[in-house]
A and B are shown apart, each in its own frame.
Chain A
């Protein structure tokens, strides 16, 4: 049997489109549904604590960068960071919630945007956790000796879906033209960007590299209904016959089945399920909270309710707040791209020292999933 190799993240890259947009400019950017200010927006922003974010859409609705273009730029930045060349890239694993096309996969669009040479590709699609699905494929392919250079990348162009015309005239707006909370919440939560990491069997000869210890992904979709979804209306989403593909695009749009939606009641239960999965990892010794030097999670400790923090403290599962590294406040929640944008910022902050352990936690409310990437700086 081939000996498994150590695999290192030798370079990271991030791409954020356009200027940083503050809270005051958000609605000008996304547009107002039926010209109304959002009722929910301010509350959502207080909860998530995001102060600035980026949009790949201009205030006039123009496209500054496609999702594939943003992803390609992040990949190029990561390759540059690793001192690698595109022509040596052997495997490209992409992640996104919704790419520019429905078909074919996002990886084809990113390879196209890169004008990359012939290579193996894989497209992973879910929500935030798709990032780690791609990373696991990249990590394992290098680990098994299939490839000597692989990239895992992710991009999101959420704002495209947040334009007023996507909601107006659909069942998501009431008779007064107010957008339902399930849709409006996400308009104030998600923004655009891309991130990438390069995986190689040797550490970089400059700067700090990360040796990946493991990537674990646990999905609970066998238990939960969709919690954050697009492609089915608010009611009856549990029956796939109601999905957009069966209704057809015009009827589906009218039914509100095209937009991204979030079920808050279910989200509370999904958060507890994530905690259960995490504590199980702690209990099995897979994660030792005391050994973690940097925790990257696209939730901030502040956005977690106090009872969850005290639960984690009481169960010896809490990773001290000073070890939480986040750029959520400045760079926004970019879904699957978030974790790489955060890792890129950590590596470039100069704060990470060799020997330190980094734990990336990627919760996905989509249908209740959570992923973990543990790595050690070398």
Chain B
């Protein structure tokens, strides 16, 4: 990768490790690492994640629609990502049902304060012309999918003795998103080198990481 891409990747990795450390000390995830996670905690996590997952493909689609003609290749990639993910929330719902939760409950649950903030932020950014900063948001969200989701999924499955069919969203994400991260390097190289874009990507990653953690923080258990 080029120097400009490496510089951004390095700072994005620092943002991600900072997020991971913030998540480490959140009460809900502390319960998981300390072996005190309950089925109610898992159900609350699924409810808490659903809106962001559901909105993910939609803000990506909106971002794609705002990418101008000189960047058609990037637009194609973002659109493919949106397509790949726009049904993921269904998987999450079926996991919830597999844990004896009622579909109406997860579908009807209001967004928590963190989800509201995260969603509003994503759509706001996606509505700007050529919203390349959102590559930073994609890095954070996809990194969570590739690294954290599988880790959480395995730990939840083990600690609650759940069948695979009840943890598909978290486990499936772990497999799928690895390729996305490889593709991410290519997306960065399509918009870099450009100092203002690099700064915006990193700032957007920082804000997204903070709001994602807020979303987890606000999950009531």
Question: How many Å lie between the Cα of A311 and that of B182 in the bound state?
Answer: 11
Residue of B nearest to A234 (CB): B35
By a CB distance below 8 angstroms, the chain B residues around A315 are: 6, 9-10, 13
Mask, B1-23, CB within 8 Å of A = 1, is 10101110111011011101110
Residue of B nearest to A238 (CB): B34
Mask, A211-222, CB within 8 Å of B = 1, is 000000000101
Partner of A235, one of B5, B35, B147, B185: B35
Partner of B17, one of A224, A236, A266, A272: A272
A81 at the interface (CB under 8 A from B): no
Within 8 A of A (CB), among B63-88: none
By a CB distance below 8 angstroms, the chain A residues around B18 are: 276
Shortest beta-carbon distance from B102 to chain A in Å: 32
Residue of B nearest to A317 (CB): B10
Count of chain A residues with a beta carbon within 8 Å of a chain B beta carbon? 26
Supposing A276-B14, A279-B14 touch, asked if A314 and B20 sit within 8 A by C-beta, the answer is no
Shortest beta-carbon distance from B145 to chain A in Å: 15
A323 at the interface (CB under 8 A from B): no
A283 at the interface (CB under 8 A from B): yes
Shortest beta-carbon distance from B15 to chain A in Å: 9
By a CB distance below 8 angstroms, the chain B residues around A269 are: 20, 24, 151
Shortest beta-carbon distance from B199 to chain A in Å: 14
Question: How many Å lie between the Cα of A315 and that of B14 in the bound state?
Answer: 10
B6 to A316, Cβ gap below 8 A?
A: yes
A114 at the interface (CB under 8 A from B): no
B38 at the interface (CB under 8 A from A): no
Mask, A253-280, CB within 8 Å of B = 1, is 0000000000001101100110111011
A224 to B1, Cβ gap below 8 A?
A: no
B positions within 8 Å CB-CB of A: 1, 3, 5-7, 9-11, 13-14, 16-18, 20-22, 24-25, 30, 33-35, 147, 151, 155, 185
A positions within 8 Å CB-CB of B: 220, 222-225, 235-236, 238, 265-266, 268-269, 272-273, 275-277, 279-280, 282-283, 311, 314-317
Given A236-B34, A276-B16, 6 other A-B contacts at CB below 8 A?
A220-B21, A225-B30, A269-B151, A277-B17, A314-B1, A314-B185
| A–B pairs, 9, beta carbons within 8 Å | A225-B33, A268-B151, A279-B13, A280-B14, A283-B14, A314-B1, A314-B9, A316-B10, A317-B10
Task: Report, nearest first, the 5 A-B pairs whose CB atoms are least far apart.
Answer: A276-B17, A315-B10, A316-B6, A223-B21, A315-B9
